[in-house]
Amino acid sequence: MQIEIALTAPDNADYAASDLGFLLHKHPDHLHKRDTSAGEVTIFYPEKSKERTTAVMHLDVDPVGLVRGKNQHSDGLLAQYVNDRPFVTSSFLSVAMGRTFAQTMAGKSKDRQALADRALPFEIRVVPVALSGDLDLVKRLFEPLGYTILTPSEIGEEQVVDLRLSATLRLADILKHLYVLVPVLDNFKHYYVSEEEIDKLLAKGEGWLSEHPDKELITRRALKHRRSLMNMALARLEETAPQDEEPEEAPKIKPEEQLEKPLRLHALRLDAVAEVLRQNNVASVLDLGCGEGKLMTRLIKERSLARIVGVDASVRTLEAAHRKLRLNQAGDAMAERVSLQMGSLTYGDRRWQGFDAATLVEVIEHIEPHRLSALVLSLFADARPRLVVMTTPNREYNVLFDGLKDGKLRHPDHRFEWTRAEFESWANKVAEEHGYSVSFTPLGPVDDTHGGPSQMAVFKQEGAT
């Protein structure tokens, strides 16, 4: 089984097709071999010129080696050996791509980063591809992503196709599409699928899967038809889906940060939350909706905190947090103390259990109101930290911001903004139903009529010290 990737350079192009070697991190003049859990991978370039260069990744699967001693999730001993999986491209190819082209899929190129960031004209061939469905499925999956289907022809009597595509896209995006969609075409994965598979799917699907018209089919097949995993994945996709932009003629709303900057409100919020944690002598903190790690940056300085974990639904945001916190430079002690997790705030996660405190700084207003009950269950009923610190904008204060028209929200991504009475009513109900007490504090300069620009609720588990 193999994948062929050809880069073409039209006349007067400001790059050479031979730059494909820089994008793949594999020199065109060399033969590259490596062993992966899926089999032996060989990469070579049968065609090399400035006008057109083709790279081939060939995967040689050892079917016996794959299953030897690994029958815990098998459909039976016989199924381990009598199986046509090794002879078609499927999840084996995805595993090999992830190991072999990790830097390329991350969009990195040491010597040609500008090209890695650009959409370039590629032709792709994947052969042989197992197809569970008709040839129209190929079009349904690839055409919405910008591909032209060249020759999706059947091979022999079985549902196996010679898949040929063309597209002008970033190479990183092409590889991510193939990583997800080739096993989806096959409707099979050779390994056991757990909740960790959701993280892999959303990482490779970020930026395109949430908007794909067949995202439910893709998600269902990618997660081996496990409904619970599919529902979790779709919920997380909904959290990261881009919001519709306003019409051009509508007045542009200033971002929340610009509105609040004169008040230093963001810094005041973070300081207030950190002070609550300090006063309550917590040793472990779960920062839900951690964003780029601004609160975590403050918390790292608190030596009393032995464990700090940030959770966010966006891979790119977590990557930014990773850089901001300099976790790539962290030693073993810091790695044990500070970590990041990709996760949904509206699905229970066993990893959230056992923390002294959880924080949600300007988070709840980004969640659809009808899904707040799921957040409450996952946080207050399942994880049950002894302390929860939550902040959210006070809608009453919006009239005091210059340039914010009446009825408008502070940020286009906000699903709602509550008045003080609305927030207190909701929080009191949550506390009463789940065995917490709750207190409220205004944040920022307080107006006699409209209150503070932000509001903080501190939930304490009843009976906790």
DSSP state of 231: H
The predicted structure's pLDDT at residue 10: 87
Strand 120-130 relative to strand 160-169, pairing: antiparallel
> 195 pLDDT band (50/70/90 cuts)?
confident
Instruction: Identify the burial level of 72 via C-beta atoms within 10 angstroms of its C-beta, where 0-12 means exposed, 13-18 middle and 19 or more buried.
Output: exposed
Chain segment 224-242, per-residue pLDDT in tens: 888 888 888 887 777 665 5
CA distances from 181 to 96, 141, 169, 224, 457 (A): 14, 7, 16, 13, 44
Residues near 153 by beta carbon (within 8 Å), at least 6 away in sequence: 161, 162
**Is residue 44 scored above 90 in pLDDT?**
yes
Considering only CA atoms, which of 174, 129, 191 is closest in space to residue 156?
Answer: 129
In the 3-class helix/strand/coil scheme, how is 275-295 assigned residue by residue? Answer: HHHHHCCCCEEEEECCCCCHH
Cis peptide before 128 (omega within 30 of 0): yes
**Is residue 82 scored above 50 in pLDDT?**
no
**Which position has the higher pLDDT, 52 or 413?**
52
The predicted structure's pLDDT at residue 463: 74
Structure tokens at 338: 């500070």
Chain segment 364-392, per-residue pLDDT in tens: 998 889 889 989 999 999 999 999 999 99
DSSP structure string for 395-429: GGGGGGSTT--TT--SSTT-S--B-HHHHHHHHHH
Structure tokens at 140: 């349904």
Residues near 2 by beta carbon (within 8 Å), at least 6 away in sequence: 56, 57, 58, 59, 89, 126, 127
Strand 357-361 relative to strand 52-60, pairing: unpaired
DSSP state of 188: -
The rounded distance, in Å, linking the Cα atoms of 294 and 122 is: 39
The rounded distance, in Å, linking the Cα atoms of 347 and 343 is: 8
The predicted structure's pLDDT at residue 81: 43
Instruction: Identify the burial level of 456 via C-beta atoms within 10 angstroms of its C-beta, where 0-12 means exposed, 13-18 middle and 19 or more buried.
Output: buried
Chain segment 108-153, per-residue pLDDT in tens: 998 899 999 999 999 999 988 888 888 889 999 999 999 998 876 5
Q: How far is CA 380 from the centre of its chain?
A: 24
Angle, CA of 292, 294 and 296, to the nearest 5°: 100
The rounded distance, in Å, linking the Cα atoms of 310 and 339 is: 6
Give the containing element (helix H, strand E) for 17. Answer: none
pTM of the model: 0.57
Considering only CA atoms, which of 343, 66, 72 is closest in space to residue 196?
Answer: 343
**Is residue 461 scored above 80 in pLDDT?**
yes
